Amino acid sequence: MKRRDLLKYASMLPIGTGVAAGLIPTKAFAKAPAAKRNILKELGIRTFINAAGTYTAMTASLMHDEVVETIKQSAKQFAMLDEVQDKVGEKIAELCHAEAATVTAGCWSALVLGTAGVLTGMDMKKVAQLPNVTGMKAEVIVQKGHNIGYVHALTNTGAIIVEIETVQELEKAINEKTAMMWFLNTYAPMGKIQHEEWVAIAKKHKIPTMIDMAADVPPVSNLWKYNDLGFDLVCVSGGKAMCGPQSAGILMGRKDLIAAARLSAPPRGGNIGRGMKVNKEEIVGMYVALEKYINQDHDAEWKMWESKIDSIKTSVNSIEGVTTEISVPPIANHTPLLFINWDESKVKTSNKDLMLKLRNGSPSIEVMANGTGINITVFMLQEGEEKIVAKRVREELLLAKA
Ligand SMILES: *Cc1c(COP(=O)(O)O)cnc(C)c1O
């Protein structure tokens, strides 16, 4: 096309198309450098101080500068997706005492792909056949106390959940169709069988085991504890306390099972995991986040959390009718937690109203409801934000006193 025809052609296109095709120079291209844009502000999206925790709906965690830098830098170079997974997988495996590892689209995706790998092994026909499990061992044994919503990740593959409660029931449930035994770490206290026994019984019957420990760092040692304990597959979230990309996670464990799991994952298609793609930026971002998390000073971090929690507690403690309590959840989200409760005849607001006032205040703050009071965590707070949280919560409780 000649330039004249090009312009004529461009003028016939719907608005925007010509711009996208690079045909019409517009003011948009002449604007200030992209880095100056604040896209969340521009779109009118509310941002807030996260005093609640690593909730998926709140976008869980903020990536460290090193992770953002890694994503930015790797975004400008091509690489083979499988090679990125190979090299990063080797490093992650080494860091976490596993034979092999792969980065997945979150812990949920690790659960799906790991289970798929157990069901199919290296048989490509079976990979293509899922979620139809005809001809495969497909029963996954789960303790009754662990049988909550997360098992949907397992049934996504076509696997069938077999629920048991006692060791006797477990021994009876194991048969030639048993594919795997699954353990939900955060619900360990709700089960009658603990980790060591679960693994020992599985090993006796040569059945692979998988553990979901999505939100269960800190402590950092959990990253290798369950590999050391003998679980064949370990699944963890990357975007919770580790502050990696929110849509990344890790599947690690036995080499043959990781290789089999990857058959159901991109870049391969025609499988149940094709939609669980992780881009190279997030794969390397996950690695850098993990490395940073492992190498940071966890004692110093814990002391900092305690001091922040203490300062918020102190700011509201003296208000008449308000009570506070600090605790640490034993397994998931194992960080200091401040529970603030109040006598509603003295402080006349419900916890739902207080949450709204904090949300609608400036800056906006998110906390969690708990019974009649609220929970506050500090592990997702950025530098200095504890002071703002302390001031705002105190302010609102005092206003409600009148
Ligand atoms: C968060 C969570 C998941 C899902 O993890 P994602 O990384 O969000 O995919 C699975 N299991 C448990 C117990 C979790 O807490």
Mean pLDDT of successive 10-residue stretches along the chain, which has 402 residues: 48 43 47 76 98 97 98 98 98 98 98 98 98 98 98 98 98 98 98 98 98 98 98 98 98 98 98 98 98 98 98 96 97 96 97 98 97 97 98 98 80
CA distances from 387 to 50, 72, 299, 337, 343 (A): 13, 32, 22, 16, 24
Task: Name all domains of the chain by residue range, CATH numbers in brackets.
Answer: 49-57+298-401 (3.90.1150.180), 79-295 (3.40.640.10)
Residues 6+ apart with CB under 8 A from 153: 108, 109, 111, 112, 115
pLDDT confidence of residue 6: 47
* Cβ of residue 249 lying under 6 Å from some atom of ligand 1: yes
Contact (Cβ atoms closer than 8 angstroms) between residue 364 and residue 40: no
* Cβ of residue 237 lying under 6 Å from some atom of ligand 1: yes
Beta strand 233-237 with 337-342: parallel, antiparallel or unpaired? unpaired
pLDDT confidence of residue 261: 98
pLDDT confidence of residue 54: 97
Cis before 33 (ω within 30): no
Rounded to 5 degrees, what angle do the CA atoms 353, 307, 51 make?
30
Q: Which of 150, 236, 277, 282 to mutate to test the pocket of ligand 1 (most atoms within 8 A of CB)?
A: 150
CA–chain centroid gap for 354, Å, is 28
Q: Give the atom of ligand 1 at the shortest distance from the alpha carbon of 111.
A: 10
Q: What is the CA radius of gyration of the chain?
A: 25
| Residue ranges with strand state E in 198-351 | 209-212, 233-237, 249-253, 322-327, 337-342
pLDDT confidence of residue 25: 46
Instruction: Kindly report the protein residue whose alpha carbon is nearest to atom 8 of ligand 1.
Output: 106
- The DSSP letter of residue 161 is E
For residue 252, the SS3 value is strand
Helices 351-360, 385-399: inter-axial angle, 10-degree rounding: 130
Cβ-based neighbour number of residue 216 at 10 Å? 24
pLDDT confidence of residue 36: 86
pLDDT confidence of residue 30: 53
Rounded to 5 degrees, what angle do the CA atoms 389, 393, 395 make?
115
Cα of 67 vs centre of ligand 1, distance in Å, is 20
Q: Which of 104, 108, 234 to mutate to test the pocket of ligand 1 (most atoms within 8 A of CB)?
A: 108
> CA–CA separation, 28 vs 16, rounded Å?
11
Q: Give the atom of ligand 1 at the shortest distance from the alpha carbon of 237.
A: 7
> CA–CA separation, 87 vs 79, rounded Å?
12
CA distances from 78 to 83, 84, 400 (A): 11, 10, 57
Beta bridge partners of 322: 342
pLDDT confidence of residue 21: 42
Cα of 117 vs centre of ligand 1, distance in Å, is 19
* Cβ of residue 107 lying under 6 Å from some atom of ligand 1: yes
- The DSSP letter of residue 177 is T
Cα of 398 vs centre of ligand 1, distance in Å, is 37
Cα of 242 vs centre of ligand 1, distance in Å, is 13
Q: Which of 54, 55, 56 to mutate to test the pocket of ligand 1 (most atoms within 8 A of CB)?
A: 56
pLDDT confidence of residue 29: 52
Instruction: Kindly report the protein residue whose alpha carbon is nearest to atom 13 of ligand 1.
Output: 214
Cα of 249 vs centre of ligand 1, distance in Å, is 9
Instruction: Kindly report the protein residue whose alpha carbon is nearest to atom 5 of ligand 1.
Output: 107
pTM over 0.85: yes
**What are the φ and ψ backbone dihedral angles of 297, each rounded to 5 degrees?**
-85, 95
* Cβ of residue 212 lying under 6 Å from some atom of ligand 1: yes
Q: Give the atom of ligand 1 at the shortest distance from the alpha carbon of 239.
A: 7
pLDDT confidence of residue 18: 39
Q: Give the atom of ligand 1 at the shortest distance from the alpha carbon of 60.
A: 8
- The DSSP letter of residue 369 is E
> CA–CA separation, 397 vs 361, rounded Å?
13
Structure tokens at 321: 């009718």
Q: What is the largest CA-CA distance in the chain?
A: 83
Q: What is the helix, strand, coil percentage profile of the chain, to 5? A: 45, 15, 40
> CA–CA separation, 160 vs 139, rounded Å?
5
Complete edge-to-edge strand list for the sheet that includes strand 322-327: 322-327, 337-342, 373-377, 368-370
Q: Give the atom of ligand 1 at the shortest distance from the alpha carbon of 186.
A: 13
